[in-house]
Amino acid sequence: MTEIMLGVIGGSGIYDIDGLEDAQWRDVQTPWGAPSDQILTGRLHGVALAFLPRHGRGHVHSPTDVPYRANIDALKRLGVTHVLSLSACGSFRDEMAPGHFVMVDQYIDRTVNRDKSFFSSGCVAHVSMAHPICDGLSRAAGDAARQAGVTVHDGGTYLVMEGPQFSTLAESRMYREAWGCDVIGMTNMPEAKLAREAEMHYATIAMVTDYDSWHPDHDDVDVQAVIAVLQGNSAHARATVVNLVRMIAGAGCATGCATALDFAIMTAPGRRDPVVLGKLDAVAGRVLG
Ligand SMILES: CSC[C@H]1O[C@H](OP(=O)(O)O)[C@H](O)[C@@H]1O
Ligand SMILES: Nc1ncnc2[nH]cnc12
């Protein structure tokens, strides 16, 4: 059986993680270029863990320019089986207040300027994204956060905007009222799509920092407001990861993440492009051999 390795992608305000045994920042090369930064590997309570700061240490990559394909490929190459995304977000719901965590279960992807697939002409594949989040990993991460004393909301739709500017008031109202979204951020797509193509379990903790711009009783979001809440959220996120490694072995998965490519590749074996295949060694090695 494959050993569980937890990959943690730290979002805004989370650029490292402490307490790892055998901690080592490692360079990882991929066919998609360099990941956002070196990757910190080690063990936490006996569980192998790899940590990658999504925006790089010092927050150098904008949401549009995060090398999403290299990040997921690099984690897969290191042996990561489960990816936990930690993400700052705005809230469209009164009850999802700053400091709360939302266990996202759906996305609406409004990003337009990003490479969204490992596959392309020469090896075409279509994975299911009906259920983009691993049910077992998400449940375990939510329980881990509750154990850390956080108020956790189970389920929520995350609107992924291109950014980097925040939404207009009209957009904020539309996402909330007409589209029924619960939270908003700029980074979880194409990350979740790529994790699915790479057959990794993926879950997100959306950590609320603000009420975007729709709320009549709260100021419009700005970076200062986000940063003011980030520090507390980051401390809770770190405690959540420590709790999660203790329970991840029993997390399970009914979503089918690890077999997403079983029937996804359409291109006939004899028509596949060796150059395209050459880049898929890590993410699709299980099915391409
Ligand atoms: C600093 S607020 C905007 C920024 O924060 C979130 O990033 P992440 O998901 O990596 O925590 C949001 O998506 C924006 O990229
Ligand atoms: N209101 C917001 N919109 C987009 N991304 C965010 N990240 C944190 N708050 C956000």
- The CATH number for 183's domain is 3.40.50.1580
**From the alpha carbon of 185, which atom of ligand 1 is closest?**
13
- Per residue in 114-124, pLDDT (tens digit) is 999 999 999 99
ipTM for the predicted complex comes to 0.99
The residue annotated as part of the active site, out of 212, 220, 222, 281, is 212
pTM: 0.98
**CB proximity list for 214: less than 8 A, separation 6 or greater:** 92, 169, 172, 173, 176
Does 212 sit in the ligand 2 pocket, CB within 6 Å?
yes
Residue whose CA lies nearest to ligand 1 atom number 14: 186
212 noted as active-site residue: yes
273 labeled binding residue:
no
55 labeled binding residue:
yes
115 noted as active-site residue: no
Q: How far is the CA of 184 from the centre of ligand 2 (A)?
A: 6
Does 39 sit in the ligand 2 pocket, CB within 6 Å?
no
Number of domains, the chain:
1
Cα separation, 118 vs 264, whole angstroms:
13
pLDDT band (50, 70, 90) for residue 21:
very high
Q: How far is the CA of 242 from the centre of ligand 1 (A)?
A: 22
The DSSP letter of residue 128 is -
Task: Tell how many helices (H) and how many strands (E) occur in the chain.
Answer: 7, 11
211 labeled binding residue:
yes
Q: How far is the CA of 263 from the centre of ligand 1 (A)?
A: 34
Closest ligand relative to 159 C-alpha: 2
pLDDT band (50, 70, 90) for residue 209:
very high
* pLDDT recorded at residue 2: 83
82 labeled binding residue:
no
Q: What residues make up the domain containing 139?
A: 5-288
Q: How far is the CA of 126 from the centre of ligand 1 (A)?
A: 28
Residue whose C-alpha is closest to residue 240's, from 207, 289, 286: 207
Structure tokens at 230: 């980030």
* pLDDT recorded at residue 161: 98
Cα separation, 165 vs 90, whole angstroms:
13
| H or E, element range at 287 | helix 285-288
| Region 85-107 average pLDDT | 98
pLDDT band (50, 70, 90) for residue 6:
very high
Closest ligand relative to 189 C-alpha: 1
